[in-house]
Amino acid sequence: MKVDFDSRTLYFADVFISEQKTIRQVASKLQISKTTLHVQLTKRLPNIDNIRYREVRKILDKNKKEAHMRGGLSTKEKYKRKEIK
């Protein structure tokens, strides 16, 4: 089976842009590994469509800035669940 990697990369980028979620969440939705998605969006996409890449890059940068906050909230929820048990 031949896979058209360029169209697949563009599809992944479109989903990522429309969802506006993290790599992990979008990869789960697409049922692929987060590494595969990340490589497609950061290594292949700039060579295919620079405009989409800039949109993806904005989302990735925003997610990176917010990662420490999400981690803190996750830890807080974890300890709340432990208190309930």
Residues with pLDDT less than 50, the chain: 1
The number of folded domains in the chain is: 1
Query: What pLDDT is recorded for position 18?
Result: 96
- pLDDT at residue 2, rounded to an integer: 53
CB 13 within 8 A of CB 56: yes
Instruction: Spell out the alpha helix ranges (H) of the chain.
Output: 5-19, 23-30, 34-39, 45-48, 50-84
| Amino acid 1: pLDDT | 46
Q: What is the pTM of this model?
A: 0.78
The parent domain of residue 46 ranges over: 5-84
